[in-house]
C-alpha cells in the first residue's frame, strides 16, 4: 500500500460522527474520577465516517459499532469487545477500519485501548443503522445492538436541557460532546448482554490519526 508511515505503519486520518452510551450515571464518572459509577464498565459506541483514509483506502461512509464489557474500569483491562462493521463496506474498508481499532498502527485512543482487551470478536459484517441527530441520535445493529438517545430534561419544568462536556485542550475520545440520556440501550450478542436505560449518553465528532 502506498504512503507507508514510519516503522512500516500505514498512515491514517479519520473524522467521524460518534454516538456513545454506558452504564454510568449522567456525565459518566470516568470523565471526572477515572472509575465507573457501577464499578464495572459496559458501553456501546457507534460511528459514521465523514471523511478519512487508511493509506489509499477511503473510509468515507463506513458505519461501525462496538459493544463492550469490562469487569472494572477500562484501564484495568480484561475487556470483552465486539466490533460490527456495516455490510455495505468493502473488504478493504472493513480490514482498514478494524486495523485502526486494533491499535497496531498506533494513534490515540486505539493504541492505548488495545492492551485493555482480553476477548475480541469481529469484525462482524451486519447492517449498521446510524443517525447522527445530537441528543436524539441512534445506533442499531439488528438482533444485536439497540441504542436510542433522548435529551436531558429539567426535573422541575420538563424542558429539554443542552449540556456539553468540553475539553479545551483536547480529550481522550473527543473534545466536545453533547450529553444526553439513553432512552434505549440494549445489547444481545452471545454472552455479551446488557440493558441500561436512563443512563449516560453523548454525541460528538471524533478525529483519529497516527500522524503528527
Task: Write the pLDDT tens digit of every residue in 4-27.
Answer: 445 689 999 999 999 999 999 998
Confidence of residue 3 (pLDDT cuts 50, 70, 90): very low
What percent of the chain has pLDDT above 70? 97
Residue 70 sits at φ, ψ, to 5 deg, of -125, 135
53-66 in b/e form (b: 16+ CB < 10 A) is bbbebbbeebbbbb
| 76-135 pLDDT, tens digit each | 999 999 999 999 999 999 999 999 999 999 999 999 999 999 999 999 999 999 999 999
pTM of the predicted structure, to 2 decimals: 0.93
pLDDT for residue 7: 64
Which residues pair with residue 141 across a beta bridge? 145
Residue 101 sits at φ, ψ, to 5 deg, of -70, -20
Amino acid at each position: 500500500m502506498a504512503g507507508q508511515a514510519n516503522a512500516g505503519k500505514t498512515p491514517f486520518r479519520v473524522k467521524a460522527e460518534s454516538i456513545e452510551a454506558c452504564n454510568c450515571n449522567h456525565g459518566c464518572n470516568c470523565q471526572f474520577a477515572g472509575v465507573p459509577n457501577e464499578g464495572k464498565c459496559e458501553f456501546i459506541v457507534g460511528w459514521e465516517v465523514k471523511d478519512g483514509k487508511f493509506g489509499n483506502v477511503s473510509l468515507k461512509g463506513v458505519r461501525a459499532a462496538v459493544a463492550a464489557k469490562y469487569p472494572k474500569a477500562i484501564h484495568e483491562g480484561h475487556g470483552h469487545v465486539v466490533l460490527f462493521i456495516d455490510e455495505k463496506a468493502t473488504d478493504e474498508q472493513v480490514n482498514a477500519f478494524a486495523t485502526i481499532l486494533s491499535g497496531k498502527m498506533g494513534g490515540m485512543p486505539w493504541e492505548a485501548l488495545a492492551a485493555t482487551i482480553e476477548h475480541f470478536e469481529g469484525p462482524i459484517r451486519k447492517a449498521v443503522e446510524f443517525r447522527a441527530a445530537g441528543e436524539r441520535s441512534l445506533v442499531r445493529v439488528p438482533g444485536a445492538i439497540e441504542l436510542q438517545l433522548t435529551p436531558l430534561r429539567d426535573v422541575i419544568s420538563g424542558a429539554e436541557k443542552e449540556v456539553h462536556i468540553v475539553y479545551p485542550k483536547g480529550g481522550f475520545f473527543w473534545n466536545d460532546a453533547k450529553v444526553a440520556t439513553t432512552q434505549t440501550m440494549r445489547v444481545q450478542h452471545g454472552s455479551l448482554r446488557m440493558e441500561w436505560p436512563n443512563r449516560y449518553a453523548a454525541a460528538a465528532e471524533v478525529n483519529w490519526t497516527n500522524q503528527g
